[in-house]
Copies of this chain bind each other. A is one copy, B any other.
Amino acid sequence: MLEAVEAMTTEDLMAEIGQRARAAGHVLATAPADQKNDALRKMAEAVRQATPDILAGNKLDVDAMTANGQTAAFLDRGTLTAERIEAIAAALEDIVALDDPVGSVMAAWERPNGLKIERVRTPLGVIGVIYESRPNVTADAGALCLKAGNAVVLRGGSDTIHSNRAIHAALQKGLSAAGLPEDAIQIVPVTDRAAVGEMLRGLGGNLDVIVPRGGRSLVERVQTEARVPVFAHLEGLVHIFLDKSADLEKSLDIVVNSKLRRTGICGALETLLVHEGVANSHMPQIIRALQEKGCEIRGDDRVRDICEGVVPASEEDWSTEYLDKILSVKVVPDLNAAMSHISRHGSSHTDCILSEDQAAADRFQSEVDSAIVLHNASTQFADGGEFGMGAEIGIATGRMHARGPVGVEQLTSFKYKVRGTGQTRP
């Protein structure tokens, strides 16, 4: 643990955190899978044992949030219960079951001269996670980074600092009990924004990648200012294209689930594009079902001609991520028009085609340039857990390295091992 934090400038403090993280990262990089898994199990145990401390810390946070007049939704996200703490511990144990990516052979081949070449996964190094109010991220992100052999520097929101610190103390107990360096998972002990600035500048070369978890303004700041790579998405402006061959019953279920299962997640549907061939046959029933569940529909003129109770959509609606019970709907003449709407207004996150025409689905999945392109399934499957990756640290829309759900495997780099028997180059 860092001593005498009060006496240090934020700059010095963050520099020291970076150096400690790098040193711990060197140890983690070659730590055996068993030892990392042992640490994860002991971290879970320590979190369970620390339940009273975590609840006490969380009470301080919740009282302060209440006094500050935070909304009920915000308070709910920040509040911990014994049940939620058990879920945090169980999530740590789930990560034990994931394959250890470090050292796994991604590709192997032999050259005509007998050289054997392997591309092998290695850790990325040190990962910085900047997050807002959910305290479970402290444990989730810490554990995922550890599993992939990375050290992590966590910078949580000031609203949940006491909760985060109590969880973090338990994680360090688990690390230490397994013989791994406590500095493998560090938490920034101060809440001033200058600490974030230091992370964005890369902690003097000791931070390899930043993962921002939070609202748009946080992600935007990180993407604009960071001097190191960022794994993130700015927004999930998710489309479904209802093709002329779409099956009505299937589509009804999928659209309602995509929009309303949870409206606040990045995989939630925001715009429905309807092929004019099924505007009369399919659209009214789908829109009615959404409206009956309290969803506001904003449509273009053709939608409003066909359906009742539809608010006129403005140009802005096509570029708005509502994260709420609102859906924009537009009738398009064909697949090309749908794809060009998505290309213009989409955020390269997740898009979906509902179609019984395999050729149309193939074209859509090949040509739409999004991290996740679905056919005949709910857009709410845009999630590392649902992808079978066990867990994710976030979803990325960038084109380099990590794209889509960022799981343990995406938290690694790789190297080439070349094995010879004395070959020299002519």
Which of B375, B400, B403, B420 interacts with A419 by CB under 8 Å? B375
Give chain A interface residues in 342-399, CB to chain B under 8 Å. 343, 361, 365-367, 369-378, 380-381, 386-388, 399
How many subunits of this chain does the assembly comprise?
2
Which listed segment binds B: A73-81, A250-258, A299-307?
A250-258
Q: Does A236 sit within 8 A of B, measured CB to CB?
A: no
Contact A419–B376 (Cβ < 8 Å): yes
A326→B253 CA distance, assembly (Å)? 71
Contact A378–B257 (Cβ < 8 Å): no
Which listed segment binds B: A93-101, A281-289, A408-416?
A408-416
- Determine the chain B residues whose CB is within 8 A of the CB of A253 once the complex forms: 422, 424
Give chain A interface residues in 1-50, CB to chain B under 8 Å. 26, 29-30
A258→B420 CA distance, assembly (Å)? 13
Minimal Cβ-Cβ distance residue in B for A250: B422
Contact A386–B261 (Cβ < 8 Å): no
- Determine the chain B residues whose CB is within 8 A of the CB of A380 once the complex forms: 424-425
CB distance from A365 to the nearest CB of B (A): 5
A30→B419 CA distance, assembly (Å)? 38
Number of interface residues of A (CB under 8 A): 61
Q: Does A232 sit within 8 A of B, measured CB to CB?
A: no
Contact A103–B366 (Cβ < 8 Å): yes
Contact B371–A415 (Cβ < 8 Å): yes
Contact A254–B422 (Cβ < 8 Å): yes
Contact A366–B399 (Cβ < 8 Å): no
CB distance from A10 to the nearest CB of B (A): 24
Contact B403–A415 (Cβ < 8 Å): yes
A367→B122 CA distance, assembly (Å)? 10
A381→B112 CA distance, assembly (Å)? 13
Contact B375–A257 (Cβ < 8 Å): no
Which of B209, B361, B417 interacts with A373 by CB under 8 Å? B417
Q: Does A84 sit within 8 A of B, measured CB to CB?
A: no
Q: Which 5 A-B pairs have the closest CB atoms?
A: A377-B420, A257-B424, A401-B401, A250-B422, A399-B413
A-B contact pairs, 8 of them (CB 8 A): A109-B388, A115-B381, A125-B399, A229-B229, A261-B424, A373-B416, A378-B425, A399-B413
| Chain A interface residues toward B at CB < 8 A | 26, 29-30, 103, 109, 111, 115, 117, 119, 122, 124-125, 208-209, 229, 247, 250, 253-254, 256-258, 261, 343, 361, 365-367, 369-378, 380-381, 386-388, 399-401, 403-404, 413-425
